Amino acid sequence: MTNPVDPYLLPGLLGLLGVALVLIAAHRWDVGEWPQPVVDPDATARRRTWIKVSLFALVLVATFVWAGDVVTASSGGGTGAGGGAALSPGVGAAAGEQIFWGAGKCATCHSVGTRGGKIRGPNLGISPVGDPIGLRAAALAAQRAATLGRPMTAAEYLVESIADPSASLSQGYKDEMPKPYLPPISLTPDQITSVILYLQSLGGTPDPAAIHLPPEITQAAQSRVTVDTWKPYLVGDSARGHEIFFDARGPSACARCHRVGGRGAGAGSDLGAIGATHTPRSIVELLVGPTRRHDSLLPGGFVARINVKDFHDLLAFLETLRPYVAGDTARGRALFFDETGRAACAKCHRLGNRGGDAGPEITAVVAIRTSTFLLEAILKPSKHIASGYQTVQIRTNDNRTLQGVVVRETPDSVWLGTSDGGHVTVPLRAIVQRRAVDASLMPDTLAKMLSAKDLGDLMAFLETLR
C-alpha cells in the first residue's frame, strides 16, 4: 500500500522552502545586500511590499493546508477507522465490536488490553489490573449482588453497567459515563445487545439469551424513531449514476480506484456487491465515512466536489449492485474440511462437531458478517481479528518464543492454539514475557494459494451456512 503521506510531502517541502526563501530574502534585504529601488521609490516600495507580504501570507496558509493534509493522512488511513470498514448488520459480538470502537464511542474512554490508549474508563481487556471483562464480569456481579442483597448474573451486571452506568462505579473512576441509549449516542436496543455480546466475548462466551435490556432502553429508541430515520431527499437515476461512476474525467471518477463487474482500477475495494452488503444509509456513510470523516480514505474533498444530484444518482447506482455469488458449494465444503488441502479451514475453525478451536466457530461468524467481510477475512486475515482470538506471543524462560491463540487458561498454565491446528501447553511459571500481537494467526497466503474458483466455491459454501 502506498504511504498516504507521500502525496503531501512535496507540496509541504515546497511550502517550507517558500517560508525559508521569504525569510532569507527579508534578511538579505535588511543587511543591504540587495539594491534599494531608485526610480519612483514610494510606488515601487509599496508595490513590492504588497507582493512580498501577500506571498508570505500565502505561503503560511499553504503550509497550514499541508499540515491539514498530513494530519488527515496520518490519522485516517490504514487503521480501519475510515471509510473502508463494512458495517455489519444484525446483532452479534462482531457488530458490537464495531459499535464499541465506532458509533458507541466506548473507545473514547475504554481500552481493550493493548488495543486503544484511553484510560478515562477501566481497561476492559487483559490489563495489569485484571482479566478481560468477559471473565471479570462474574466476580463484579458477585460484588454487586452482595451490595444489593439479591443475586445478579454476569450478564445482568454488564446490562446494568450500560443501562445505568452510575449504579456501580469502578474504584478510581468518575461517575461520568453517559447512558448510551440516549442522545447524543442514541444506540438502539440491538446495538446495545451487540456491545454486551462483544464485552462477553472478551475472555468469555457471548450469551444472547442471558441479556435482558430494561424497558427504558426500548422506550428511548421508540421515542426518537420518528426523528432519526434517514432517507435520501432526492430519488437518484441509477443509469446516470453508472455513467458518473465510470466517467474517468468526472468529479467523482470512482472507477479510477474501484472495480465493479471487472471494470475499473484495483487500488480501492471492489464495489461489485455493495448493494447486497450495505443498506442505503451505510453506503452513504461509506461515501462520507462511518466515522464521519469521508475524505480520510476517499480522495480529498470527494463530497465537496460532487453536487447533490450526482451524489444521489451515484447512490442509486451503487444500490443496484447486488450480484449473486456463484460457486460449487460441495467443492467449497471439501475445501473447508480437507485438512491437507489448500484452504484447510477446519484445522482451526469448528463447524458443527468438526474442526479445531484456534479460530472462531464458523457459523457464528457467517451469521453476523457480510459476504464482503468474509472474503476480506480470508484474503486479509489480520485486518479484522475476532474478539477472543487475538494472537499472543509468549517468551519462555528457556528462550523459546511461541505464538498462538489462548484457548484455555488455568491457574498453572496457558493452552495455546497454534497455526497448524495443534495445541501447546505452557506452564505459567515458565513465561517470561507475554504480549498481544495485532496480526492474525491465520496465514495471509490464501490469496496466492487459492484460485478464483476455489474462492468462489468456498464463499458459496459459507453462504449456505447463513
Partner 1 sequence: MSEVNTFFGLNPRNVVWFVAQLHLLFGAFVLGVPIFAVIVEFIGWRTADARYDRLAREFTKLLAAAFATTAALGGLLSFTLFGLYPAFSAHFVRIFAPSMYFYAGLFFVETALLYLYYNSWDRLQDRKWVHLTLGVLLNVAGTAIVFIANGWASYMMTPTGVDASGAFTGTTAGAIANPLWMPLNLHRIIGNVSFGGFVVGAYAAVRFLAARTPDERAHYDWMGYVGNFVGLAALIPLPFAGYYLGRELYTASPVMGNNMMGGDFSWGFILQALLVGLLFIVANYYLWAGMSRIPGAERYQKYVKYLNVILVACVAVWLTPRNLPVTPEEQLAIGSQVHPLLGYLGLMAAKNAVINFIILATFASLLLYRRANKTDLIPISRQGRASRVTLIAAGSLALLLLGWYVAVLLRLDLQTLNLTPEKGIYVRILVLVLGLTMLAAVVTMALALRGRGHLAQAIYFVVTAVACVGVLGVYGFVVMTAANPLLRQVAVVQWLILMTALLLLTAIDVVLFRGARSLGAIRWGEVALSTQYALIALCVDIVLTMGLMGYVRSGLREDWHIYGVLRDTSQWAFTPSYSTMARMVGGITLTFLAAVAFLFWLASLGGGHRGATDASRPSAEGVP
404-443: which residues touch partner 1 (CB under 8 A)?
Answer: 435, 437-439
Position 404, amino acid: G
Of 326-365, binders to partner 1 (CB under 8 A) are none
H runs (alpha helix) in 77-153: 93-100, 133-148
Contact (Cβ atoms closer than 8 angstroms) between residue 325 and residue 460? yes
- Cα 448 to Cα 183, 217, 462: the distances in Å are 47, 47, 20
Q: How far is the CB of 395 from partner 1 (least distance, A)?
A: 12
Q: In the window 207-236, what residues touch partner 1 (CB under 8 A)?
A: 223-224, 227-230, 232-233
Q: Is 183 in the site for partner 1 (CB under 8 A)?
A: yes
Distances from the Cα of 143 to the Cα of 1, 149, 151, 163, 312, angstroms: 49, 10, 10, 18, 54
* 282-301 positions binding partner 1, by CB under 8 A: 284, 288-289, 291-296, 300-301
Interacting residue with partner 1 among 35, 151, 172, 352 (CB under 8 A)? 172
Phi-psi region of 392 (alpha: psi -120 to 50; beta: other; left: phi over 0): beta
Of the pair 19, 364, the CB lying nearest partner 1 is at 19
Closest to partner 1 by CB, 284 or 458: 284
Binding mask 8-47 for partner 1 (x = CB under 8 A): --------------xx--xx-xx----------xx--xx-
How many chain residues are in contact with partner 1, going by CB under 8 A?
A: 90
Nearest distance in Å: CB 15, partner 1: 11
- 143 in contact with partner 1 (CB under 8 A): no
Binding segment for partner 1 (CB under 8 A), chosen from 53-61, 144-152, 241-249, 317-325, is: 53-61
Q: Output the smallest distance, CB 59 to partner 1, in A.
A: 10
Name the CA dihedral angle for 136, 137, 140, 141, rounded to a multiple of 10 degrees: -150
Stretch that binds partner 1, among 90-98, 171-179, 319-327, 369-377 (CB under 8 A): 171-179
Pick one of 304, 367, 447, 449: the residue that binds partner 1 (CB under 8 A): 304
Least distance from partner 1 to the Cβ atom of residue 186, Å:
8
Decide: is 177 part of the binding site for partner 1 (CB under 8 A).
yes
By CB under 8 A, what part of segment 234-273 binds partner 1?
none
Q: From the CB of residue 60, how many other CB atoms can be counted at a distance below 10 Å?
A: 14
- Provide the sign of the torsion angle of the four alpha carbons 146, 148, 149, 153, taken in this order: negative
What whole-number distance in Å separates Cα of residue 187 and Cα of residue 184?
9
Work out the angle between the directed axes of helices 189-201 and 154-163 (0-180°, nearest 10).
Answer: 130
Q: What are phi and psi of 434, to 5 degrees?
A: -140, 125
Find the shortest distance in angstroms from Cβ 157 to partner 1: 18
Distances in Å between the Cα of 336 and the Cα atoms of 326, 364, 370, 404, 418 are 17, 16, 18, 21, 18
Kindly state the smallest distance separating residue 29's Cβ from partner 1, in Å.
Answer: 6
CB nearer to partner 1: pick between 150 and 174:
174
What would the grid cell of residue 458 be?
A: 468456498
* Among the listed residues 65, 142, 325, 364, the single contact to partner 1 using CB under 8 A: 65
Facing residues of 409 across strands?
A: 414
